[in-house]
Amino acid sequence: MAVFVLRRLLHMIPVLIGVTFITFFVVDLAPGDYFGALRMNPAFSPDFIAELEAEFGYGEPLLVRYFKWLLRAAQGDLGISMAYRVDVATLVASRAGNTIILAVSSMLFTWSLAIPIGIYVAMRPNSVSDRLLSFIAFFGMSVPNFFLAFLFMFVALQTGWFPVGGSFSVHYEALSPLGKIIDRLHHLVLPTVVLGTAGMASLMRLMRANVLEIKEADFVRTARAKGLSERSVVGKHILRNALNPFVTLAGYELGTLLSGAALVEAVMQLQGLGSLMLEAVRSLDVYLVMGSVVIGSVLLLGGNLLADLGLRALDPRIDFDRESA
């Protein structure tokens, strides 16, 4: 297993280089640059803008700028944000925590509902509950996240049950440790439900399909013939085998949630990595874009590695030694 993990970590290096190379060039292909807006502002003199361009290396060829950034990034220096004029790594780290908390809470919400509901309807195919919950699932898959965000914010404004916007209250620092946790959780409710709704619908349908297929397998019939209780058959035989695709999906789910969180964070005014990425793209703050892409890629690749390790723990038949040979 150690050899497998080492190989996967080494494989991440060329992937990260390829992703950052493409991103750097795509941002450069966009019309204009960060300094275009400054040139239209009479408050900034041409000499000042020229100094900024020289500071950020805009007088050098594109490839030279990229490889200089890559060498610095390999040493942990992601550059300076043009818009915020602060270290990119510090800025991204200050926002990434909120997005990771939102993504994890959304995954917990999605999986804690999708798996038991999927099993329930699969054990009762074509029943009224199966058709009703399947209809709700298809409805959830068809409604865009940003529309749900607007809808939930409207409900929150009308009822006052949940805060609208932000990751914590203005008096957050004055709260006790328990009060801070409660305040964070209160602010997490709406974005968690919004971000997790579409994923819950699709995962429920996947779990239903897996259980329907597995419950007719020979080993399940054998387990029932041995006199095992239905709870034991479902928990030890059907569920354990049906979860294999979900563990593999978990790594990709993290990357999907991080990208999907961008619109939710923008609509609900959350200070997260997604909204920061949107701001960076709009302003063509290339080094901030690169830093956000690096963090997002590392989280996605790391999530896939953890998913593979989780799959090995769930299914001992998987042989990492053979794969790494």
Residue 222 placed within a domain: yes
Boundaries of domain holding 247: 93-324
Q: How far apart are CA 146 and CA 198, in angstroms?
A: 11
Q: What's the angle, vertex CA 191, arms to CA 156 and CA 101, rounded to 5?
A: 140
pTM: 0.72
Assigned token pair, 226: 């041995």
Positive or negative, the CA dihedral 305, 306, 309, 310 is negative
Residue 55 placed within a domain: no
Give me the half-sphere count of Cα atoms (radius 13 Å) on the Cβ side of residue 212. 13
Residue 149 placed within a domain: yes
Q: How far apart are CA 308 and CA 321, in angstroms?
A: 13
Q: Is residue 116 predicted with pLDDT exceeding 70?
A: yes
Number of domains in the chain: 1
- Whole-number percent of the chain with pLDDT over 90: 1
Strand partners, 87: 80
Q: Is residue 161 predicted with pLDDT exceeding 60?
A: yes
Strand partners, 80: 87
Residue 31 placed within a domain: no
Report the CATH number at residue 183: 1.10.3720.10
Q: How far apart are CA 263 and CA 145, in angstroms?
A: 8
Residue 185 placed within a domain: yes
DSSP 57: T
Residue 22 placed within a domain: no
The values of phi and psi at residue 80, to 5°, are: -115, 135
pLDDT tens-digit readout, 219-248: 777 877 877 777 777 777 777 777 777 766
Residue 124 placed within a domain: yes
- Closest to 203 in 3D by CA, of 137, 267, 266: 137
pLDDT tens-digit readout, 248-269: 676 666 666 666 667 777 777 7
Residue 65 placed within a domain: no
